[in-house]
Structure 1
Amino acid sequence: MGEAIMNADLSTVLGYGGAVVLFATTALVLLVRADLAPAAGLGAVLDGGGKWFLGAALGAGVIAFSLKLVIILTLSSFPEQTIAPLVPPPATAMVSAESPDAFAPSADAAPGHVWKALPPVAPSPPDNPATPAKVSLGQRLFHDPILSIDRTVSCASCHDLGLGAGTDRRATAIGVTHVPGRRNAPTVWNAAFQARLFWDGRAGSLEEQAMGPPLNPDEMGMPSAQAIEERIGADASYREAFAQAFGDDRPVSMRRVVQALAAFERSLITADSPYDRFVSGDAEALGPGQQRGMWLFQAVGCVMCHSGANFSGASLIGPRNPYAPLLASRSPLARSHGLGADKGRAGEAAADGIWRIPSLRNVALTAPYFHNGAVGDLSEAVRVMATTQLGAVISNDPGLRRVPRWSAAEERFRVVDRLVLSEQDIADIVSFLNALTSDSLSRGAARIP
């Protein structure tokens, strides 16, 4: 029945097209015979069959043009019957990770993506160049609880550089009040490459970020910048260290405190992961499953947000795309982890939160995940991101990739392609994310009891 309707529709179009061609040809022939030839003084030349020859030659152009219009009209009116059968469906075959060439899907969400290794040195702002004395001072301040009201909490309390891979391994940070905060403590490793800091991205530099925790009543609880300056300035060894770092004997200032902390944090770079070795030319650095996971990470679109050498659109290097909505409203899995409650930059009335895109460097060591620290397993975190950000279906059934959906506006079904990730896909992506782990941090993590 559908074929009969299609043929009837095509016949109607071709019928109208034929009438148009016949009318145009007749009009042109008459015009040439009655007007063009006499006006050009060709009456004698075109007597008899000559006029008909001229009319036929010009009419052929009209016919060819009309046929092209008919073809274009037919293709645009009936794409499902004319064009769609000629277009191969996207690759949906389930593949094994045993072979490094067994990559799927064949479609690529980011065909222009270029993989880069992390630079070994982070850039410093012109007003705060790094020096050994400044970095040393910042390291001392980072580990000293002198910056907290009761001298019990240091920067390192929430950002353990060794066993915690720059985090405290808690769901949310705990400060001087001993009450869990609202958000998870991000790692400080490679934070030097980030253009936006904190989960909501409210700080635009390491210096600005370092100003926050000491004065936050729930974190380190100091009452004012002046109180910090007076406490540190009362220590003769600190006065000497500040003079060495900044080249004079002026009083300790909060600006110089955060500059020293930022200078130290810019030294916290991990460019020694298997991934870095792989993109730098070591073809054996990643196994077949990790390479397939790397391809999937690009092909399904993860790199659209987690881009550049630091795997974050909020970085100083690579494409700049610092914020993204976390579409928890469309993922029951995300909502089951409470990821829709805190809206970040979006405000409480928003349907979904907006967050700074975090780096995925050393992500295998920095659980628990997300702003609320609600997800403790990296595989689960990948499932959450796949269902929220990519709209993916997690299933081992490849038949779910193409589904019919009724279009009321078009009064017909349309076949919709959707992303389906298998458990093997998830495992390979996780395997690739493990390859972003620093060798030196990995050796430290192995000592965790």
Structure 2
Amino acid sequence: MSFTRSCLCLSLVLLASSLNLRAAPLDEPLKPLPAVPQQNPERVELGRQLFNEPRLSLDGNLSCASCHRMEHGGADTKALSIGFDGKPVAVNTPSVFNASLNFRQFWDGRSTSLESQIHEVLQSSAEMGSTWDHVLQTLSADASYKNAFAKAYPNGVTLGNVQNALASYERTLVSANSRFDQYLQGNTDALTTEEKYGYQRFKDYGCIACHQGVNIGGNMFQKLGVMADYFAARGNPTEADLGRYLVTKDEEDRNVFKVPSLRNVAVTAPYFHDGSVKTLEEAVSVMFRYQLGRVPSEEDKSLIVQFLKTLTGEWEGKPL
């Protein structure tokens, strides 16, 4: 065999070895987050500006970012965010990260798209309290916004274009590269032994029955209080506790809510639609009691919490 041919054979062996070393994705019921969809960058940037624009609210003091705080995982630190009128809103503010992957928007699932969610929040008397006439007049009177819309959209400033720009930006808010995603992609060293045990407990106890899909939730409705009466124990019932019933008026939907995504759950306290739970440990205990009717050992609960902390992803190259 010639020297050249020997080198070629060796190169092929080394190449084959390197390919074999590449870890294959794990065959698990949960899947990694998808890549951010390709979109018009001018529309995304315009949406980012609008997301941070307080003049969208009636009094000019409240933006989307006021409640969806990027430094807090896209959620709020308050149990109930404060609306434009200075009063608390009815339910806890969910994270805007990965919201585009939910099958419905809002806790009661009344909106089927980001655009319709934006349409409702902007006009809500408890949230931004604005009108589309006010928004379109404000943006059209601002030369920089008028020029930005003209570049991004042939027909300039319109209701539909404002919604589309905001939704385009929100679709970029995908918190990829969590350690759990790295694990699912085949890097089994991304999780500690305890975190892997926690994931197994998460599956064994049946948490995965509701917290499923790429968003580890956000793709189904479920009653809060399957095995015990959560609301009787908490007390002080509110209209918001009725959940999806407020949309359908169907008795079967009483106290039913969209199952929240667990992605970034470690950095988005407080928890549940009422914001009543302050810690992740307590949230796990509540779920065991009211949804599973079980009492986990302290070890199992600790392992599950450790697993949940691996779901924190990145944004703009930094951990949330």
After TM superposition, give the deviation of residue 217 of structure 1 in Å. Answer: 1.3
Tell me if structure 2 keeps the 8 A contact 1:297–1:429. yes
Tell me if structure 2 keeps the 8 A contact 1:343–1:350. no
With the length of structure 2 as denominator, give the TM-score of the two structures. 0.84
* Cα distance in 1, alignment partners of residues 235 and 263 from structure 2: 24
What does residue 223 of structure 2 align with? 325
Say whether residues 1:390 and 2:305 are aligned partners.
no
Tell me if structure 2 keeps the 8 A contact 1:196–1:202. yes
| AA aligned opposite 2:286 | V
Superimposed CA distance per residue, residues 46-103 of structure 1 (whole angstroms, 9 cap, x where no aligned partner)? xxxxxxxxxxxxxxxxxxxxxxxxxxxxxxxxxxxxxxxxxxxxxxxxxxxxxxxxxx
How many residues align? The count is 289
Superimposed CA distance per residue, residues 232-272 of structure 1 (whole angstroms, 9 cap, x where no aligned partner)? 111111111111111x2x35111111100000000011111
Say whether residues 1:433 and 2:308 are aligned partners.
yes
What does residue 117 of structure 1 align with? 32
After TM superposition, give the deviation of residue 439 of structure 1 in Å. Answer: 4.4
After superposition, the Cα gap between the structure-2 partners of 1:259 and 1:443, relative to the gap in structure 1 and judged at 3 Å, is closer
Tell me if structure 2 keeps the 8 A contact 1:339–1:372. no
* Cα distance in 1, alignment partners of residues 222 and 245 from structure 2: 10
Q: SS of 2:257's equivalent?
A: strand
Q: SS of 1:435's equivalent?
A: helix
What does residue 138 of structure 2 align with? 231
The range that moved more, 260-269 or 341-350, is 341-350
After TM superposition, give the deviation of residue 187 of structure 1 in Å. Answer: 0.5
After TM superposition, give the deviation of residue 202 of structure 1 in Å. Answer: 0.8
Q: SS of 1:269's equivalent?
A: coil
What does residue 414 of structure 1 align with? none
After superposition, the Cα gap between the structure-2 partners of 1:166 and 1:282, relative to the gap in structure 1 and judged at 3 Å, is same
What does residue 278 of structure 1 align with? 183
User: What residue ranges of structure 2 are gaps of 5+ in the alignment?
Assistant: 1-26
| AA aligned opposite 2:121 | P
What does residue 370 of structure 1 align with? 272
Greater RCO (Cα-Cα under 8 Å, separation 6 or more): 2
What does residue 164 of structure 2 align with? 259
Tell me if structure 1 keeps the 8 A contact 2:52–2:63. yes
* Cα distance in 2, alignment partners of residues 440 and 155 from structure 1: 18
Tell me if structure 1 keeps the 8 A contact 2:68–2:75. yes
CA RMSD of aligned residues (A): 2.3
After TM superposition, give the deviation of residue 198 of structure 1 in Å. Answer: 0.7
* Cα distance in 2, alignment partners of residues 236 and 267 from structure 1: 26
Tell me if structure 2 keeps the 8 A contact 1:197–1:204. yes
* Cα distance in 1, alignment partners of residues 31 and 121 from structure 2: 32
Tell me if structure 2 keeps the 8 A contact 1:200–1:354. yes
* Cα distance in 1, alignment partners of residues 229 and 286 from structure 2: 8
What does residue 151 of structure 2 align with? 244
* Cα distance in 2, alignment partners of residues 373 and 442 from structure 1: 29
Tell me if structure 2 keeps the 8 A contact 1:147–1:228. yes
Say whether residues 1:167 and 2:75 are aligned partners.
yes
After superposition, the Cα gap between the structure-2 partners of 1:201 and 1:117, relative to the gap in structure 1 and judged at 3 Å, is same
* Cα distance in 2, alignment partners of residues 356 and 335 from structure 1: 20
What does residue 13 of structure 2 align with? none
After TM superposition, give the deviation of residue 284 of structure 1 in Å. Answer: 1.1
What does residue 345 of structure 1 align with? 244
Tell me if structure 1 keeps the 8 A contact 2:227–2:289. no
| AA aligned opposite 2:52 | H
Tell me if structure 2 keeps the 8 A contact 1:325–1:353. yes
* Cα distance in 2, alignment partners of residues 300 and 436 from structure 1: 18
* Cα distance in 2, alignment partners of residues 138 and 305 from structure 1: 32
Alignment of structure 1 residues 163-202 onto 2, 5 Å: 163-202=71-110
* Cα distance in 2, alignment partners of residues 266 and 118 from structure 1: 12
Superimposed CA distance per residue, residues 152-210 of structure 1 (whole angstroms, 9 cap, x where no aligned partner)? 0000000011x211012110111111111110000001111112011111111111111
What does residue 357 of structure 1 align with? 259
What does residue 154 of structure 1 align with? 63
User: What residue ranges of structure 1 are gaps of 5+ in the alignment?
Assistant: 1-111, 123-128, 315-321, 395-420
After TM superposition, give the deviation of residue 331 of structure 1 in Å. Answer: 4.5
After TM superposition, give the deviation of residue 336 of structure 1 in Å. Answer: 3.6
What does residue 52 of structure 2 align with? 143
Superimposed CA distance per residue, residues 302-345 of structure 1 (whole angstroms, 9 cap, x where no aligned partner)? 1111111210151xxxxxxx21111167156x644459651101
* Cα distance in 2, alignment partners of residues 240 and 349 from structure 1: 48
Say whether residues 1:306 and 2:211 are aligned partners.
yes
After superposition, the Cα gap between the structure-2 partners of 1:313 and 1:220, relative to the gap in structure 1 and judged at 3 Å, is closer
Q: 1:132 aligns with which of 20, 33, 41?
A: 41
Tell me if structure 2 keeps the 8 A contact 1:199–1:371. yes
* Cα distance in 2, alignment partners of residues 313 and 238 from structure 1: 34
Tell me if structure 2 keeps the 8 A contact 1:171–1:372. yes
Tell me if structure 1 keeps the 8 A contact 2:270–2:278. yes
